[in-house]
Chain A
Amino acid sequence: MNIQEYILSGIVESYVLGLASTEERAEFENMCAAHAEVRAARDAFERAIEQQAFMEATSPPAHLKSRIFGELDVEADRKKPGKFKNVQRPMKPVRSIWSRYVAAASILLLVVSTGLNFYFFSKYKDYIAKYDELVASQNQTAALNQSLQTKLHDYESAMSLMKDPAMAVVKMPGIATGPNPESSATVYWDTRSKDVYLLVNSLPQPSADKQYQLWALVDGKPIDAGVFEISQGIPLVKMKNIPEAQAFAITLEKKGGSVAPTLDAMYVIGKVAG
């Protein structure tokens, strides 16, 4: 069979229309590769078929294009061709739109939630700091309250002593010839228990190595009634118990007190009312 006979045998049409057997196809492809005339004959028939098909084209339903492109979008998303089930039912592109919304919403929620976490954490830190401040302030207030309570208690007990009718009051004015004539002190002497309480009305602050000392004068002899500090906030200082005395006096002595008073350092003196 020469080339021309081969071309006219119907193999060209058979091949192009997909009716040739596997062997015929292989043979035809070889012939095409080898002979330009066979290729030309094939091309001519292909063009004729194509032209005919275009002339007789009928429009598919209008909605079909978007349906097909929805499907192709899905195909493009999967990226792995050949792994699909047979496409019998049309697949609609609804899935991708909704999943996009859901994905967007969940990302938004994540962002909002992360933001809120930071916000609440910083708020939490603020509150911790404020709480610490409040605790400190509360402690301070409590301490102040405690000291005020103590002070109040001291004043109350001092007041109740001074109010007591059984309390003998011995005023000790400043000695005009003494070191400080402006000085003044008062002894509250419990006539029942003989306890002695001292109220310092006014005495100059002594130097660090000196201390004031209270004396009871019994029949002209001085009896030590104890040393004391001048401190703010302590209204009455309890001194030594003195069973008997005609007068009380205060001298400035060396720290810790003396056995006998230094007479030229006597600041105040007062007689017990007869």
Chain B
Amino acid sequence: MACHKENDLNINTTYTEQELVTALKERQSAAYSYLYDHYSGALFTIVRQIVQNTELASDVLQEVFVNIWRKIETYDPVKGRLFTWMLNIARNASIDTLRSKSYQNSQKNQELADNVSMGGQASQINIDSIGIKKILVKLKPEHRVLIELAYFKGYTHEEIAEIEDIPLGTVKTRIRNALIQLKEYLQ
């Protein structure tokens, strides 16, 4: 009976965000199971939109959950929601992977293969057509590029200014404006 009850808890219990955070900080495996069941899909989309390779994205998602496990103590509800915190962990892990040497090398090979086969676009279109990226399409091109570089490639404003050859102040203004538009599309 006790066993059934626990199973029921694992499957059916819903946590308030506060309860979930407490359980996560206590390293309760049921809480991590719940976290995975409820959040892995949303986080996986973000990871794939940055990493763009399902297999590699799986490795990154694993790293994301390990990082959540390790860093859960540092999560402060005063500064924002749990999902926002995890989203940033996912984005940072993805961008770190994107910038790793091994990924850079594999990408060069991939680009070569893409040029030969003219393929490789299909999966990108699929993943690019959803989530924040879907909204990006609606942005003005000059805003979209900046959000792409800042959010999905992880470049700093200074780096973007250099890449796009526009003043740093303009980069900041355009990104702000792009984000304001983004919010409007979300609502």
Q: B-contacting residues of A (Cβ < 8 Å)?
A: 8-14, 16-19, 21, 29, 32-33, 42-43, 45-50, 52-54, 56-61, 64-65, 67-69, 71-72, 75-76, 81-82, 84, 87-90
Chain B residues whose CB sits within 8 angstroms of the CB of A17 once the complex forms: 151, 179
A58 x B32 contact (CB < 8 A):
no
Residue in contact with B88 in the complex, picked from A9, A18, A61, CB distance below 8 Å? A18
How long is the Cα–Cα vector from A33 to B157 in the complex, in angstroms? 27
Kindly list chain B residues whose C-beta atoms are within 8 Å of the C-beta of A68: 36, 61-62, 65-66
Name, among A43, A56, A64, A89, the residue most crowded by chain B CB atoms within 10 Å (CB to CB): A56
Residue of A nearest to B46 (CB): A53
A60 x B41 contact (CB < 8 A): yes
Which residue from chain B places its CB closest to the CB of A42 in the assembled complex? B80
In the complex with contacts A49-B84, A69-B29, A60-B58 CB distance below 8 A:
yes
Give Cα A72 to B72, complex, Å.
13
Count class of interface residues, chain B: 35 or more
- Closest A-B pairs by Cβ, 6 of them: A57-B41, A10-B176, A13-B179, A53-B42, A56-B131, A56-B130
B70 within 8 A of A: yes
Q: How far in angstroms is the closest Cβ of chain A from B102?
A: 8
Residue numbers in A under 8 Å from B102 (CB-CB): 88
Q: Which residue in B27, B61, B63, B134 is a CB contact (below 8 Å) of A60? A: B61
Tell whether, in the assembled complex, residue A60 and residue B40 are in contact, meaning their CB atoms are under 8 Å apart. yes
CA gap between A52 and B185 in the complex, in Å: 11
- B69 contact from A18, A60, A75, Cβ within 8 A: A75
Interface residue? B98 (CB, 8 A): no
Assembly CA distance A75 to B29 (angstroms): 12
- A18 and B66 contact, CB distance less than 8 A: no
The residue on B at minimum CB distance from A59 is B41
A10/B175 contact (C-beta < 8 A), A61-B58, A64-B61, A68-B36 known: yes
Q: Is the CB of B41 within 8 A of A52?
A: no
User: Complex formed: what's the CA distance from A33 to B88 in Å?
Assistant: 21
B125 CB within 8 Å of chain A: no
Bound-state Cα–Cα, A65 to B130, Å? 23
Minimum C-beta distance from B119 to chain A (A): 21
Of A12, A14, A72, which one neighbours B66 at CB under 8 angstroms? A72
Q: Are B66 and A48 in contact (CB under 8 A)?
A: no
